[in-house]
A and B are shown apart, each in its own frame.
Chain A
Amino acid sequence: MATMNILILVCLGYVVLLFGVAFAADRMAAAGRGRWLRSPLIYTLSLSIYCTAWTFYGAVGSAARSGLEFVTIYLGPTLVMISWWWGLRKLVRVGRSQRVTSIADLISSRYGKSNTLAICVTILAVLGGTPYIALQLQSITLSFSIFAEADPSGLYREGASVFWVAAGLAVFAILFGTRNLDANERHHGVVTAIALESVVKLFALLAVGIFVVWGIAGGVTPMMERIDASEIGRWNVDAGRWMTITFLSAAAFVCLPRMFQVMVVENDDEAHLRTAAWAFPLYLLLMSLFVVPIAVVGLDLLPAGSNPDLFVLTVPLSQGNDWLAMLSFIGGFSSATSMVIVTAMALSTMVSNHVVMPIWLNTRERRSSISGDVRNVVLMARRISIAAIMALGFFYYRLSGGGAALASIGLVAFAGISQILPALVGGLFWRGATRTGALVGLSVGFGLWVYTLLLPGMGGGIMSASVIENGPFGMGWLRPQALFGLEGLDPMTHTVLWSLSLNALAFCVASLLSFPSPLERLQGAQFVNVFDHSVAPGGWTGSVAQSEDLMIMTQRILGAAPAQEFFQAEAERQGVRGRLPEPTPGFLERLERELSGSVGAATAHAMIGQIVGGSSVSVEDLLAVADESAQLLEYSSQLEAKSAELTRTARKLREANEKLTQISMQKDAFLGQVSHELRTPMTSIRAFSEIMRDTDGLSADETRRYATIIHDEALRLTRLLDDLLDLSVLENGQVNLNMGEASLRTVLDRAVSTALAGAERRLKVRRSLPSERVALHTDLDRLGQVFINLISNAQKYCDAAEPTLTISAHDVGGQLVIDFVDNGSGVPADAQSMVFEKFARVGFDKAGGAGLGLAICREIMQRLGGEIVYLPGQGGAAFRVSLPLAHRQAAQ
Chain B
Amino acid sequence: MKKITFSLLFAAGIFLISCGDASQSSDSAGSAEQVVAGGQEAVQDDESQKDVVKIAVGSPDHTTLVAALKQAELVTALSNAGPFTVFAPVNAAFDQLPKGTVEGLMQDDKKADLQNILQYHVAVAVYKVENMKDGQMIGQANGDNITLTVKDGKVKVNGTANIVASIQASNGIIHVIDAVLLPPAK
Chain A bound to chain B: no
Residue positions of B touching A, CB distance < 8 A: none
